[in-house]
Amino acid sequence: MNSPTPTFAPMPDAQGFFGPYGGQFIPPALKQAMDEIDRAYEDIRQREDFQQELAELFADYVGRPSPIFHAKRLSAQLGGAQIHLKREDLNHTGAHKINHCLGEALLARFMGKKKVIAETGAGQHGVALATACAMVGIPCEIHMGQVDVEKEHPNVTKMRILGCKLVPVTRGAATLKEAVDSAFEEYLKNPQDYLYAIGSVVGPHPFPKMVRDFQAIIGREARAQFLAKHGRLPDFVTACVGGGSNAIGMFTAFLDDADVQLVGVEPAGEGLDKPGRHSATLTRGHPGQIHGMACYVLEEAEGVPAAVHSIASGLDYPGVGPQHSYLKDIGRVQYQTASDEEALQAFMTLSRVEGIIPALESAHAVAWAMRSAATLPADRHILVNLSGRGDKDADYVADKLGL
């Protein structure tokens, strides 16, 4: 199970390609800015002092390593495989996103940037970035769809308290995709002085690589923790996939473990056969381009991204990380789906059986684990990346279920 030569480590190539996906499909001025970010990143990545500072922040600021919890009651109730939860929900700010936000904020400081700009969906990236920027001491500007501003009120309040400038975006469907467009426009005004801190493993090279590297701590810890505790690796490792950062952060350490099945869970929303009412990009989309990268996309027409939906705002994006697109094509990761309804059920079950309120995003991976565990023998192990906590979703769910 321990492969000495990590076959996947060199990905992407120098141009940012994972097979046919990734790259930089952007204007020349922007390409220059991205190449500068890549050079700066490759520089600090190899510096002892940078790695040391990041490791210390992970430990003392984020609270890493996050534990793995064996959900014994849930497993027993399902009567099948054992479910284990990697508790990224216990991180400072309540989700995995703080991992790459700290990396990006440190990079911005290193490059002497004057402002960090970003989009946010559920508000988790916005809060995590505003947090990291507050600590590093760099001005931060967050663009957020008006629909999400209303739905994710607690996160909006937190961002204001943390001192970032919040820009509500009202155009189009007023969700994540429009927020990305708006933030990008602001960034283009001065790419020299600004850093666009992308919130997932998406966008032009080097972001899919860089965000993955910052998130890969999840899988590195989880693999070692699981081995130490059980003397073996899990049979399945699963995570929800929006852009794909928590999933790739979890999967990277396991890519060379051929016996470990990796499963990414996309949001089937109200049903895969209802165009515009799901966000299952790898399941229902096809290769194309969006936001400066080649990847699977959900499109209405060539070059026109489709409307997307998920009960979890952090998952409703019509593109997906280029590395996931590649891992799907080569068959190393299976991409499956969970619906709004299943995610809601998993949210309630995990809350009531284990006393853990998951983010609705993470509940998609829990839903897949619950569905699969029931069909497997009790000596099988499923490791779920519990990407975040559900405080932000509590009012919404209670309203919806009349609690």
Binding site for ligand PLP (CB under 6 A): 95, 97, 122, 124-125, 200, 240-247, 314-315, 359, 361-362, 387-388
∠ at Cα 31 (294, 179), nearest 5°?
65
- Closest to ligand PLP by CB, 191 vs 333, is 333
- Closest to ligand PLP by CB, 66 vs 387, is 387
Helix (H, G, I), strand (E, B) or coil at 181: helix
Query: In the Cβ-directed half-sphere of 387, how many Cα atoms lie within 13 Å?
Result: 35
* DSSP secondary structure of 252-273: GGGTT-TTSEEEEEEEEET-TT
Query: In the Cβ-directed half-sphere of 228, how many Cα atoms lie within 13 Å?
Result: 8
Q: How far is the CB of 201 from ligand PLP (least distance, A)?
A: 6
Q: How far is the CB of 250 from ligand PLP (least distance, A)?
A: 9
Cα–Cα dist 31/278, whole Å: 32
Contacts of 115 (CB under 8 A, 6+ apart): 138, 139, 140, 141, 193, 194, 195
Amino acid of residue 186:
E
Tell me the residue number closest to ligand PLP, measured at CB. 388
Pick from 222, 266, 92, 99: which is nearest to 162 by CA?
A: 92
In terms of DSSP bridges, do strands 286-290 and 293-297 run parallel, antiparallel, or are they unpaired? antiparallel
- Closest to ligand PLP by CB, 128 vs 306, is 128
Give kind and range of the element (H or E) at residue 165: strand 165-169
Catalytic residue annotation: 97, 119, 387
Q: How far is the CB of 243 from ligand PLP (least distance, A)?
A: 4
- Closest to ligand PLP by CB, 191 vs 291, is 291
Q: How far is the CB of 324 from ligand PLP (least distance, A)?
A: 9
Residue with tokens 């850093």: 195
> Token pair of 90, please?
């216990």
Which phi and psi (to 5°) does residue 385 adopt? -85, 105
- Closest to ligand PLP by CB, 82 vs 124, is 124
Q: How far is the CB of 13 from ligand PLP (least distance, A)?
A: 22
